[in-house]
Structure 1
Amino acid sequence: MMPAFCPSDVPPGEKAVYAALQSDTTTDSWIVLHSLGIADHVRQVEGEVDFVVIVPDAGILVIEVKSHQTIDRREDGSWKLGNDAPTFRGPFQQASEAMHSLRGYLKKRGVDLRSVPILSAVWFTSVRARTMLPPNPEWHNWQILDSEDLKSAPRAVLRTLAAGTKHLDDKVKYFSYGGVGPDTDVAARIASLLRPKFELVVVAGDRRRARESQLVTFIEEQYRALDAVAENRAVLFSGPAGSGKTFLAMESARREVAIGRRGRLLCFNRFLGKRLTNDMADLDGLIVGTFHQELLRLAGLDRVPEHPSPAFWMDELTERATEALIDGGDALVSDFLVVDEVQDIAAESYLDVLDLMVSGGLKEGRLLFFGDFERQAIFENENEDGRGRLRSRAPYMMSHKLTQNCRNLPRIGYQVNLLSHLHPGYQEFRRLDDGVDPVFVKYRTKQEQSSLLAAAIRSLREEGYDLDEIIVLSPKRDGSVAEITTDRWLRQVLKPADGLPARPGQLQYSTIHAFKGLEASAVVVTDLDRSAAADNFDSLLYVGLTRATDRLVAFIESGTFRKAFGGAT
């Protein structure tokens, strides 16, 4: 079933059909798409079909569901369904148009449908329509399913497909000669072509293309990840930067809330926490923010003490939050726990608190964790075995690896492989290459970078990027080029990032640490000097470079440049 849950706000008939198909074990090999959007509809600007049922070796059934308690086909040809206004476009016509729209879409994409029955039907879930509706030349009797069919939904679908295939055999010579499709491979391909049409997400921030928000579909790998969420109680998703972990974390939380559960969506990074809180604000029953914000809330602290020590975060705050969770009982315990950037929260004291936050604890709770244990652990516990500690606390947690890069253009990803010494590195990319290479600029002194930065920003603007589409990143917490530049124009437009999208005309800058988990259309990374950096330079470089979706400019100190590119000058 896709999606893996039935939204609570759909009509009762759709819920009934969804439940009837989902609960029957004979449908294990079937693929059922619910609420499939149709962008290229044969009649309307856009449309939707309630269910598309793909049955290997039997056919495809497009179903329009009607939940109404009364059905009235009037003398003038109009339909009156329940309390809805009369309409001349009846349910059978709706189903037929959706079917022809999907057939056309699949044929355009090269799917061989010569022996694949694609049929339409209407399911009246509240009435016995098969006996109520008189024969009519506008539809076939086999296209009617009703309330009685809910008792054995798979049998009703197969009955309809069989009758429809016989009708096609009568009309199309040799239609089913040699067998009826789709086979399992073709069924999977059809699902992969149709499925991205029902679930779209607007990427945070405007994409480069035509300066309009671009719709990006889930890739097959991400759907398998969501299937893993539905089929397993606890899952650890691991993958490199750009593999869609944060996006999947958000979608997983939405699905948990949609089926009536209460929970938490937590991350480590403050800016990412702001973005998640802003994007998920419409969901009731979900606490969203950083892990430390949640500790402060549980501890009853309105603000952080001035100049807090590491011991405050690791010991004092966790102890106070632990006491609050113990004293608060079930009222503070979540039904589920989604954690992004879990590699930065995998310390023992932090895991002690997480264990109390979710029903069943880390051992038996509903856990959906997302992390990059290779290079994105750039904070204090980077050298510790965070993955091992998670496994010891959650022994039944399944692992699911994400491998495909959904964020960066391929040329950016390949340079990340080289400079960050990733093994095996990015192998597959969701996005098509546009032929523009990342730009790596050598510098000798810090002062040189100011003019280089101004030139890089102007070049990006000439290419068509607005200032609010660009971010300037540095591994330096103090004294970065963006912070101390003397360029008059840069000083007017530069603004410290706060985790929220920049306003028009603003050019944001940030540390790499703070911007982890976020992305921008164009990224300029400055101050890349291995000799002046901390031990985790490769990790910082990796995080910084992978923030760029479309354009990347990096200023690298000459010695670092030579080492990175094998002695190049």
Structure 2
Amino acid sequence: MKMIPAPEGFGRIQSAAETRVAKLLAQADLGEPATCFYSVHLPRHEYKRMAEIDFLIVLKDLLLVLEVKGGRLSRVDGVWTFTDRYGVVHEKREGPFEQARGAMFALQHDLEHRIPGLTAACGAAVVTPDQLLDRDLEWDPVEYIGPAAMTVAGLERALTAAASYWRRKSHRTARESDYRDVVSLLRPDFDRVPRLSLLAATFETDYVELAREQYDMLRGSEINERIFCTGGAGSGKTLLAVETSRRAARSGASVLLTCRSQGVVEVMRRSLGDTDVICRPWSEATATAPVDVLVVDEAQDLLNVDDWFTLDRLVEGGLRDGRWRMFSDPNNQTGIHGAFDPQVYAEVAANASRYQLPYNCRNTSAIVTQTQLMTGADLGVAKAGQGPAVEYERPDTDRDTAALLDARLKRLRHEEVDPADIVVVTLRDTVGESSAVHTRAYANGRLTAAEKGSDARTSGAARLVTVRDFKGLEAPYVLVVDVDDVATSTDRSKLYVAMTRPRISLWLAVRPKAWRQLTDTLVRNRA
């Protein structure tokens, strides 16, 4: 039976009973098209309609809700005691059968509003893998699946019997389209993907829901040989590059995921640590043997004639006939990494299915608005909320910048911001040239130069990085310094990259010449 999410993506599950049932369901064959949705990744506070359903099996004419209860269950004087998947002990008068039926009726009511004319019936059953419940007038025996059915064949028989029972009760004749419509509607609710994080790999994985356009692209990668996806900074391109790689590898294909940034590759490699995906920076990827699927993040850095020939070599069938996915920012970041050739860009994009990501899922509305006004870049529609206002300082000298930066870092400490969540980005070519090296924070180790090509956090200290080394990465708090001159396209590209790194707040120290240039740009963009 098809499982969504796939069993390989379940991650750590607190309920051993649910894990056991999930593995059996993945092997079960009910003799007809069937999809099983598992709510393992759904937060309890959102999508309550779905989060209260452990497993939902969608058949051609029936939706079967499964409520799984592990461990010991007891009922005394009408009160049930059980422990849920989060380790919380509950005492309720509502038992598991009432819970299952309640979830079933809520789901049916919701779907009938979302799919006009829905004819598929709904049913429910309770599974207790660890304990046999005595027969009771509260439920029909066919609504209960106990320990004896905890084999693939046993579960198949029990589910077939439960499905027949609810079909007889419904007296409905289902439309042929119901199965397809229900699966298409529910899949985005359940099919979450792991969030990319700069935190240590020991942290528990956090799963996120994709925007509709992101999910359309993800589904498109399952049926299209070549994908060319565009989106501004913060639109989720790297997240999708990782997830398409994960799913391609899960299907048995050999996969290479690459981009020019060593730091971004390290983040992607950590996220894909449980897969066979080859994650290599471009400097190392060029010697890789051809693979079944090639995935390129920050593709605008590689769309030039020289790199085109190498890309063509890295995938079976070449760029014309092979399987590849490229993710590119249309706000061309010239002069930071690699070279860009618009003719190569157009030729590669023309040979693929095109997707555009219209939302910015990283930056607050305040940051998106200021970046668009200052650089003219199109970042899409912000989805992260308003956030604090972007703050500007106008120092005359490097010493002034250093003093203002020290004051800003001190203020963030007083606001109890973890220094490891702060990144100082210099627009100069090297960290050693930055005004930030003149700060007291740099002298006493509260601001440290990040190791080249690394995204590692230093406990108790903010990081100082160049735009080149931080391109493609992010941080909660970003302080941008050494905005000296933004007359050239390279300088404007650096500013664009720096301004789009923060998730929470953005602070900039802009020198007088650059301030005049930005003011002129602001006037033009507002006109």
Could you tell me the TM-score, scaled by structure 2's length?
A: 0.72
Q: Percentage identity across aligned positions?
A: 22
User: Match for 1:226: what amino acid?
Assistant: L
User: Match for 2:368: what amino acid?
Assistant: G
The answer for the alignment partner of 2:305 in structure 1 is 348
Alignment counterpart, residue 186 of structure 2, candidates 184, 191, 196: 191
Could you tell me the TM-score, scaled by structure 1's length?
A: 0.67
Q: Give the superposition deviation at 1:50.
A: 3.4
**1:255-266 equivalent positions in 2, closer than 5 A:** 255-266=247-258
Q: Aligned partners of 1:232, 1:356: CA distance in 2, in Å?
A: 20
The answer for the alignment partner of 1:419 in structure 2 is 374
Is residue 528 from structure 1 mapped to residue 469 from structure 2 by the alignment?
Answer: no
User: Match for 1:418: what amino acid?
Assistant: L
Q: Give the superposition deviation at 1:338.
A: 1.1
Q: Give the superposition deviation at 1:267.
A: 1.1
**1:118-267 equivalent positions in 2, closer than 5 A:** 119-121=122-124, 138-139=139-140, 162-166=167-171, 191=186, 195-196=188-189, 199=192, 201-205=194-198, 216-267=208-259
Q: Give the superposition deviation at 1:224.
A: 1.4
Q: Aligned partners of 2:416, 2:111: CA distance in 1, in Å?
A: 33
The answer for the alignment partner of 1:452 in structure 2 is 404
SS in 1 for 2:267: helix
- Structure 2 unaligned spans of 5+: 11-21, 46-50, 69-94, 128-134
Is residue 269 from structure 1 mapped to residue 261 from structure 2 by the alignment?
Answer: yes
Q: Give the superposition deviation at 1:461.
A: 2.0
SS in 2 for 1:492: coil
More displaced 10-residue stretch of structure 1: 349-358 or 545-554: 349-358
Q: Aligned partners of 2:123, 2:304: CA distance in 1, in Å?
A: 55
Is residue 472 from structure 1 mapped to residue 392 from structure 2 by the alignment?
Answer: no
More displaced 10-residue stretch of structure 1: 459-468 or 519-528: 459-468
Q: May I ask how many residue pairs the two structures share in their alignment?
A: 459
SS in 2 for 1:375: coil
| 1:202 to 1:401, Cα distance in 2 relative to 1, 3 A | closer
Q: Give the superposition deviation at 1:549.
A: 0.5
**1:87-106 equivalent positions in 2, closer than 5 A:** 97=99, 100-101=102-103
User: Match for 1:561: what amino acid?
Assistant: W
Residues 159-205 of structure 1 show CA distances to partners (whole Å, capped at 9, x for unaligned) of 776545459xxxxxxxx9xx99x99999699738xx44552534514
The answer for the alignment partner of 2:33 in structure 1 is 21
Residues 311-334 of structure 1 show CA distances to partners (whole Å, capped at 9, x for unaligned) of xxxxxxxxxxxxxx7xxxxxx331
CA contact (8 A) 1:107 1:113 kept: no
User: Match for 1:408: what amino acid?
Assistant: N
Q: Give the superposition deviation at 1:403.
A: 1.1
Is residue 379 from structure 1 mapped to residue 337 from structure 2 by the alignment?
Answer: yes
| 1:510 to 1:103, Cα distance in 2 relative to 1, 3 A | farther
Alignment counterpart, residue 61 of structure 1, candidates 61, 64, 72: 64
| 1:191 to 1:222, Cα distance in 2 relative to 1, 3 A | same
The answer for the alignment partner of 1:315 in structure 2 is none
Residues 448-506 of structure 1 show CA distances to partners (whole Å, capped at 9, x for unaligned) of 10001111111222223111000000121135435531536655222222323312112
CA contact (8 A) 2:5 2:190 kept: no
| 1:562 to 1:95, Cα distance in 2 relative to 1, 3 A | farther
Alignment counterpart, residue 362 of structure 1, candidates 319, 325, 340: 319
The answer for the alignment partner of 1:496 in structure 2 is 449
The answer for the alignment partner of 2:440 in structure 1 is 487
CA contact (8 A) 1:8 1:258 kept: no
The answer for the alignment partner of 1:51 in structure 2 is 56
Q: Aligned partners of 2:503, 2:337: CA distance in 1, in Å?
A: 24
Q: Aligned partners of 2:295, 2:6: CA distance in 1, in Å?
A: 17
CA contact (8 A) 1:358 1:366 kept: yes
Q: Aligned partners of 1:565, 1:379: CA distance in 2, in Å?
A: 27
The answer for the alignment partner of 2:382 in structure 1 is 429
Alignment counterpart, residue 495 of structure 2, candidates 541, 544, 551: 541
The answer for the alignment partner of 2:23 in structure 1 is 11
CA contact (8 A) 1:238 1:371 kept: yes
| 1:486 to 1:413, Cα distance in 2 relative to 1, 3 A | closer
The answer for the alignment partner of 1:294 in structure 2 is 285
Q: Aligned partners of 2:460, 2:306: CA distance in 1, in Å?
A: 43
Q: Aligned partners of 1:206, 1:8: CA distance in 2, in Å?
A: 19
User: Match for 1:235: what amino acid?
Assistant: I
SS in 2 for 1:447: helix
| 1:381 to 1:164, Cα distance in 2 relative to 1, 3 A | farther
CA RMSD of aligned residues (A): 4.7
Q: Aligned partners of 1:542, 1:36: CA distance in 2, in Å?
A: 39
User: Match for 1:514: what amino acid?
Assistant: D
Q: Aligned partners of 1:341, 1:351: CA distance in 2, in Å?
A: 14
The answer for the alignment partner of 1:34 in structure 2 is 37
Q: Aligned partners of 1:238, 1:520: CA distance in 2, in Å?
A: 22
CA contact (8 A) 2:436 2:481 kept: no
Q: Aligned partners of 2:117, 2:156: CA distance in 1, in Å?
A: 28
**1:323-338 equivalent positions in 2, closer than 5 A:** 332-338=289-295
The answer for the alignment partner of 1:439 in structure 2 is 391
Q: Aligned partners of 1:105, 1:454: CA distance in 2, in Å?
A: 55
Q: Aligned partners of 1:3, 1:340: CA distance in 2, in Å?
A: 26
| 1:357 to 1:213, Cα distance in 2 relative to 1, 3 A | closer
- Structure 1 unaligned spans of 5+: 23-31, 66-92, 125-133, 168-175, 299-324, 326-331
Q: Aligned partners of 1:556, 1:106: CA distance in 2, in Å?
A: 57
Q: Give the superposition deviation at 1:97.
A: 3.9
Q: Aligned partners of 1:433, 1:411: CA distance in 2, in Å?
A: 6
User: Match for 1:199: what amino acid?
Assistant: R
SS in 2 for 1:550: strand
CA contact (8 A) 1:346 1:389 kept: no
Q: Aligned partners of 2:510, 2:494: CA distance in 1, in Å?
A: 13
SS in 2 for 1:230: helix
Q: Give the superposition deviation at 1:401.
A: 0.7
Alignment counterpart, residue 558 of structure 1, candidates 512, 515, 520: 512
CA contact (8 A) 2:298 2:327 kept: yes
Q: Give the superposition deviation at 1:343.
A: 0.9
Q: Aligned partners of 1:198, 1:108: CA distance in 2, in Å?
A: 19
| 1:286 to 1:186, Cα distance in 2 relative to 1, 3 A | closer
Alignment counterpart, residue 463 of structure 1, candidates 396, 400, 415: 415
Q: Give the superposition deviation at 1:432.
A: 2.2
Q: Aligned partners of 1:102, 1:444: CA distance in 2, in Å?
A: 66
CA contact (8 A) 2:142 2:161 kept: no
SS in 2 for 1:472: strand
Q: Give the superposition deviation at 1:528.
A: 0.9
User: Match for 2:37: what amino acid?
Assistant: H
Q: Aligned partners of 1:272, 1:8: CA distance in 2, in Å?
A: 22
Q: Give the superposition deviation at 1:558.
A: 2.1
